[in-house]
Amino acid sequence: MWYKKLHWQIVLGMVLGVVFALVMVQFSWGPEFVSDWIKPFGTIFINALKLIAVPLILASLIKGVSDLKDLSSLSKMGGKTIALYLITTTIAVTIGLVVVNTLKPGASISEETRNELLESYKGEADARISDARRQMETGPLQALEDLVPDNIFAAASNNRNMLQVIFFAIIFGIGLIMIPEAKAKPVKDFFDSFNDVILKLIDLIMKTAPYGVFALLAALIVEAPTADLFVALGFYALCVVIGLALMVVIYVLIASVYAKKSPAFFLNAISPAQLLAFSTSSSAATLPVTMERVEDHLGVDEEVSSFVLPIGATINMDGTSLYQAVAAVFIAQAFGMDLTLGAQLGIILTATLASIGSAAVPGAGMVMLVIVLAQAGIPEAGLALIFAVDRPLDMCRTTINVTGDATVALTVAASEGKLHDPVAED
Q: Decide if pLDDT at 3 tops 80.
A: no
Tell me the backbone φ, ψ of residue 419, rounded to 5 degrees.
-105, 140
Look at residue 136 in the predicted model and tell me its pLDDT: 65
Helices (H) and strands (E) in the chain — how many of each? 21, 0
**What is the phi/psi pair of residue 218, to 5°?**
-60, -45
SS3 (DSSP) at 300: strand
pLDDT reported for residue 263: 94
The helix-helix angle for 209-222 and 6-24 (nearest 10°) equals 30
**Predicted local confidence at residue 226, as pLDDT:** 55
CATH of domain 2-416: 1.10.3860.10
Residue 419 forms beta bridges with which residues?
300
Q: Is 419 helix (H, G, I), strand (E, B) or coil?
A: strand
pLDDT at res. 360: 46
User: What confidence score (pLDDT) does residue 359 get?
Assistant: 47
Q: So what's the pLDDT on residue 364? A: 56
379 vs 95, higher pLDDT = 95
The pLDDT confidence band at residue 193, using thresholds 50, 70 and 90, is very high
- The count of C-alpha atoms lying within 13 angstroms of the C-alpha of 300, restricted to the half-sphere facing its C-beta, is 33
Instruction: Say whether pLDDT at 115 is over 90.
Output: no
Task: Please give the C-alpha separations between residue 418 and each of 142, 243, 415, in angstroms, as whole numbers.
Answer: 36, 31, 8
Query: Looking at residue 74, what is its pLDDT?
Result: 80
Sign of the dihedral through C-alpha 373, 377, 379, 380: positive
* Mean pLDDT (the chain, rounded): 84
Dump pLDDT digits (tens) for 128-144: 777 767 766 776 677 67
Q: Look at residue 51 and tell me whether its pLDDT is greater than 80.
A: yes
Cα–Cα distance measured from residue 147 to residue 163, given in angstroms and rounded to the nearest whole number: 6
What digits encode the pLDDT tens for the residues 80-91?
A: 998 999 899 889
pLDDT at 423: 62
What is the rounded distance in angstroms from the CA atom of residue 57 to the CA atom of residue 63? Answer: 10
Question: Which residue has better confidence, 341 or 77?
Answer: 77
Note the pLDDT tens digit of each residue in 261-305.
999 999 999 999 999 999 888 888 899 899 999 999 999 998 899
Give the list of residues 6+ apart from residue 344 with CB closer than 8 angstroms, or none.
Answer: 97, 101, 329, 376
pLDDT band of 68, cuts 50, 70, 90: confident
Distance (Å, rounded) from C-alpha 287 to C-alpha 226?
33
**pLDDT average, residue stretch 307-331:** 88
Is the pLDDT assigned to residue 162 strictly greater than 90? no
pLDDT tens-place string over residues 207-233: 898 998 899 888 878 876 655 556 667
**Per-domain residue ranges for the chain?**
2-416
> Residue 426's pLDDT band (boundaries 50, 70, 90)?
very low
C-alpha 205/C-alpha 199 separation (Å) is: 10
CB-facing half-sphere around the CA of 18: CA atoms within 13 A: 7
Distance from C-alpha of 132 to C-alpha of 370, rounded to nearest angstrom? 6
Exposure string for 349-358, b = 16+ CB within 10 A, e = fewer: ebbbbbbbbb
> 425 pLDDT exceeds 60?
no
234 vs 120 pLDDT, higher one: 234
In angstroms, the Cα distances linking 281 to 47, 70, 235, 246, 392 are 13, 36, 22, 20, 9
Angstrom distance (rounded) from CA 199 to CA 410? 20
Average pLDDT over residues 181-194: 91
Q: What are the backbone angles phi and psi of residue 225, rounded to the nearest 5°?
A: -65, 180
Q: What is the pTM of this model?
A: 0.83
354-377 pLDDT per residue, tens: 666 554 444 556 667 777 887 788
Backbone dihedral region for residue 299 (phi beyond 0: left; psi -120 to 50: alpha; all else: beta): left
Check residue 44 and give its pLDDT. Answer: 92
Residues of the chain with pLDDT > 90, as a percent, come to 34
